[in-house]
């Protein structure tokens, strides 16, 4: 169906032209709404990409879905370029260190040379006297604690009273150039009192004269235990006389994300007294909250601008102390301040995968059914909590699928040590335990003389079921995946038949799309994700979302969903997600949650 044109204001049916050749005001002709100026007729529906449940041809082996009726065959399921690809390949995408503001200063951070020490005094007079130094700050300027989780706020912008690892933030300076700022770091006069550090997480379970943190009534004796978890499900009697068993003890080293782009931030207090903070963040909303807390400034006086993110993998999910430092220095100096880490500083802030000691016991009955998983995990949290509460649970609960278990027993502990903080990295809490579990299954298969794929197929959870600990499973393609892998890898002709030193193996896993409750939980007023849609005069659509695209393509996914439901060309969909001023709240790019939660919104 061809649509006619429409006019900005009522007027004559034909364009009127003044004698001087100009159009008559209010008589400008626009293309039809929804055409984008280039397509006066709608494209025919592509039935190959409309589910058969609503009259299309797309197979639905898992059955119908609530969103089937919204499919139009426009873009979902089709290969398209990323909507932000042009900005990236032409070099026009702004990453953290690409931001340049007029009159900006360079910020640098003084870091602790000690693993664990008390700061008895700091004298900044020589720093302040250095020509070119504009602002200096220490922990006394920002005594409020912050943290990514409301229940474990144990960080400061800069150390207050104690430093907790080599590289911990002590003070910061802003100067007219980098060389002056670096020179200024050598002029602080600090009196230290060293404290005996803790490096071994097993020692963190013991009482200490000087615990790394103190949680008052929530503290466990005088240990450095940050979190303990105990869970038990199922029939434990099945463990007593197993047909087959495996018992493995694992020591896993910490791993850093290794993202290409180092941390960088620019802070500027605009003429209206509002903070504009530019940062490559995975979760701008958490930074927004933390800045408000640390700076004692209402959230409406802060605009967090997420730049393009040059790799995150969980390592840019926390609100960070250097973001606070840049804001504090900019407020003191009255000028923009930029802080960019070198690679060594990236490792000091860390938030990588937890070093872990993991013990896994498992049993199976005569039918090859898994009768128990027993897991004990001790994880090294480093100097601060970060996502540690969550990681402590994930080491256990993310081992409960994709298998049906007769029983499950988990004990876990996260301890503080005097090292850079561990945090969220790609399936945090799941990966180390998953390795131990899958190897244990292989050992049981070997002892029973059963094919490892067959053992897994015999124990898979079916679709529309629950794990032993209560997680809801909807569709589940694990069986089909294993069968395709068996065929495509030529498993039956290769397994146990390759020459010495060669082999082929199998492993399974699962993940959670986000968490059941928002970290900042208000069940009536705080959804996981919110999207605002604005329709322009010519039918183009602007989507406002707080979801951070960190390279995984979430901006494109959101554009695809809106394009699909409205049956508009994707070129007419524009996604704005960079500023907290214009973006509704989204709880971040982590835990494989964005497409599931943001696109649903």
**Torsions phi, psi for 177 (to 5 deg):** -150, 170
| The pLDDT value given to residue 38 | 55
- Rounded to an integer, the average pLDDT of 373-389 is 97
pLDDT at residue 370 tops 90? yes
Within 195-292, strands assigned E span 225-234, 244-252, 264-269, 275-279
- If pLDDT is split at 50, 70 and 90, which confidence band does 427 have? confident
Structure tokens at 423: 């945090």
If one counts every other C-beta atom within 10 angstroms of the C-beta of residue 394, the result is 26
| The pLDDT value given to residue 520 | 62
pLDDT at residue 36 tops 70? no
| The pLDDT value given to residue 587 | 80
Kindly report, residue by residue over 286-342, the tens digit of the pLDDT. 999 999 999 999 999 999 999 999 999 999 999 999 999 999 999 999 999 999 999
Percent of the chain with pLDDT strictly greater than 70? 90
The dihedral built from the CA positions of residue 264, 90, 579 and 566, taken in this order, carries a sign that is negative
pLDDT at residue 95 tops 70? yes
Domains and CATH numbers, the chain: 217-256+352-461 (3.30.365.10), 515-600 (3.30.365.10)
pLDDT at residue 35 tops 80? no
- Rounded to an integer, the average pLDDT of 496-500 is 94
- Rounded to an integer, the average pLDDT of 529-552 is 90
For residues 320 and 590, what is the distance between their CA atoms, to the nearest angstrom? 16
| The pLDDT value given to residue 360 | 97
Kindly report, residue by residue over 238-249, the tens digit of the pLDDT. 788 899 999 999
pLDDT at residue 14 tops 60? no
| The pLDDT value given to residue 331 | 98
Look at 10 and 349; give whichever has higher pLDDT: 349
For residues 431 and 353, what is the distance between their CA atoms, to the nearest angstrom? 9
Structure tokens at 184: 């200024």
Instruction: Give the chain's end-to-end CA distance (angstroms, integer).
Output: 31
pLDDT at residue 387 tops 80? yes
In this structure, of 137-141, 302-306, 477-481, 517-521, the range with the lowest mean pLDDT score is 517-521
For residues 202 and 181, what is the distance between their CA atoms, to the nearest angstrom? 40
Q: What residue has token string 């700076």? A: 295
Kindly report, residue by residue over 146-186, the tens digit of the pLDDT. 999 888 999 999 999 999 999 999 999 999 999 999 999 99
Q: pTM surpassing 0.85? A: yes
The candidate with the shortest Cα–Cα distance to 379, out of 346, 406, 410, is 410
For residues 107 and 109, what is the distance between their CA atoms, to the nearest angstrom? 7
Q: CA separation (Å) from 183 to 166, 187, 490, 513, 515?
A: 20, 7, 62, 47, 46
| The pLDDT value given to residue 522 | 64
Name the strand (E) or helix (H) holding 388.
helix 388-397
- Mean pLDDT score across all residues of the chain: 90
Q: Is 382 left (phi over 0), alpha (psi -120 to 50) or beta?
A: left
**Torsions phi, psi for 272 (to 5 deg):** -90, 5
- Rounded to an integer, the average pLDDT of 2-14 is 43
pLDDT at residue 1 tops 50? no
pLDDT at residue 374 tops 60? yes
Structure tokens at 545: 């979302």
Neighbour-count burial of 161, counting CB atoms closer than 10 A to its CB (0-12 exposed, 13-18 middle, 19+ buried): exposed
pLDDT at residue 133 tops 80? yes
pLDDT at residue 6 tops 60? no
Residues facing residue 17 across a β-bridge? 23
The candidate with the shortest Cα–Cα distance to 155, out of 226, 258, 255, is 226
| The pLDDT value given to residue 209 | 95
| The pLDDT value given to residue 39 | 60
- Rounded to an integer, the average pLDDT of 448-477 is 93
| The pLDDT value given to residue 9 | 40
If one counts every other C-beta atom within 10 angstroms of the C-beta of residue 91, the result is 7
586, 550 Cβ separation under 8 angstroms = no
Percent of the chain with pLDDT strictly greater than 90? 73
Kindly report, residue by residue over 247-293, the tens digit of the pLDDT. 999 999 999 999 999 999 999 999 999 999 999 999 999 999 999 99
| The pLDDT value given to residue 525 | 65
- Rounded to an integer, the average pLDDT of 574-587 is 92
| The pLDDT value given to residue 12 | 47
174, 105 Cβ separation under 8 angstroms = yes
The candidate with the shortest Cα–Cα distance to 310, out of 541, 87, 67, is 87
For residues 47 and 299, what is the distance between their CA atoms, to the nearest angstrom? 47
- Rounded to an integer, the average pLDDT of 50-67 is 84
């Amino acid at each position: 169906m061809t649509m006619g044109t429409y006019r900005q204001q009522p007027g004559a049916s034909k364009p009127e032209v003044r004698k001087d050749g100009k159009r008559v005001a209010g008589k400008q002709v626009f293309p039809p709404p929804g055409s984008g100026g280039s397509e006066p007729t709608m494209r025919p529906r592509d039935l190959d990409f409309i589910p058969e449940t609503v009259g299309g041809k797309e197979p639905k082996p898992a059955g119908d879905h609530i969103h089937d009726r919204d499919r139009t065959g426009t873009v979902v399921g089709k290969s398209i370029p990323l909507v932000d690809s042009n900005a990236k390949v032409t070099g026009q995408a702004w990453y953290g260190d690409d931001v340049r503001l007029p009159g900006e200063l360079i910020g640098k951070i003084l870091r602790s040379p000690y693993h664990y020490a008390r700061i008895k005094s700091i004298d900044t007079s020589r720093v302040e006297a250095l020509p070119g130094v504009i602002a200096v700050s220490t922990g006394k300027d920002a005594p409020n604690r912050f943290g990514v989780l409301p229940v474990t706020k144990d960080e400061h912008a800069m150390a207050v009273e104690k430093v907790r690892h080599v590289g911990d933030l002590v003070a910061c300076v802003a100067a007219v150039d980098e060389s002056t700022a670096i020179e200024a770091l050598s002029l602080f006069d600090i009196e230290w009192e060293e404290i005996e550090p803790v490096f071994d997480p097993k020692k963190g379970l013991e009482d200490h004269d000087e615990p790394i943190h103190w949680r008052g009534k929530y503290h466990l004796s005088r240990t450095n235990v940050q979190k303990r978890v105990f869970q038990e499900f199922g029939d434990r009697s099945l463990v007593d006389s197993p047909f087959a068993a495996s018992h493995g003890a694992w020591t896993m080293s910490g791993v850093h994300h290794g993202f290409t782009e180092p941390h960088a931030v620019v802070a500027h207090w605009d003429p209206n007294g509002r903070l504009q903070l530019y940062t490559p963040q995975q979760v701008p909303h958490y930074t927004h909250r933390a800045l408000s807390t640390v700076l004692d400034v209402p959230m409406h006086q802060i605009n967090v601008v997420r730049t393009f993110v040059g790799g995150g993998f969980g390592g840019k999910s926390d609100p960070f102390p250097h973001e606070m430092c840049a804001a504090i220095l900019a407020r003191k100096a009255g000028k923009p301040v930029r802080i960019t880490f070198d690679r060594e500083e990236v490792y000091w802030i860390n938030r990588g995968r937890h070093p872990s000691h993991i013990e896994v016991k498992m049993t199976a009955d005569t039918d090859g059914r898994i009768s128990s998983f027993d897991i004990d995990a001790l994880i090294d949290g480093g100097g601060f909590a970060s996502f540690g509460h969550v990681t402590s649970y994930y080491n256990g609960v993310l081992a409960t699928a994709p298998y049906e278990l007769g029983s499950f027993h988990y004990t876990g502990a996260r301890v503080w040590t005097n090292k850079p903080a561990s945090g969220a990295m790609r399936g945090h809490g799941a990966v180390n335990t998953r390795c131990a579990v899958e190897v244990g299954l292989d050992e049981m298969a070997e002892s029973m003389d059963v094919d490892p794929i067959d053992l897994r197929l015999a124990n898979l959870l079916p679709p529309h079921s629950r794990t032993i600990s209560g997680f809801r499973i909807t569709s589940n393609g694990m069986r089909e995946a294993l069968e395709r892998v068996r065929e495509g890898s030529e498993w039956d002709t290769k397994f146990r038949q390759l020459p010495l030193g060669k082999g082929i193996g199998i492993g399974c896993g699962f993940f959670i799309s986000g968490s059941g409750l928002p970290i900042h939980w208000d069940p009536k007023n705080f959804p996981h994700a919110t999207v605002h849609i604005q329709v322009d005069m010519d039918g183009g659509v602007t989507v406002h979302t707080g979801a951070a695209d960190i390279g995984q393509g979430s901006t494109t996914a959101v554009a695809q969903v809106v394009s699909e439901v409205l049956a508009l060309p994707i070129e007419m969909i524009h996604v704005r997600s960079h500023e907290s001023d214009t973006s509704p709240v989204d709880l971040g790019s982590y835990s494989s949650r964005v497409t599931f939660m943001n696109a649903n919104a």
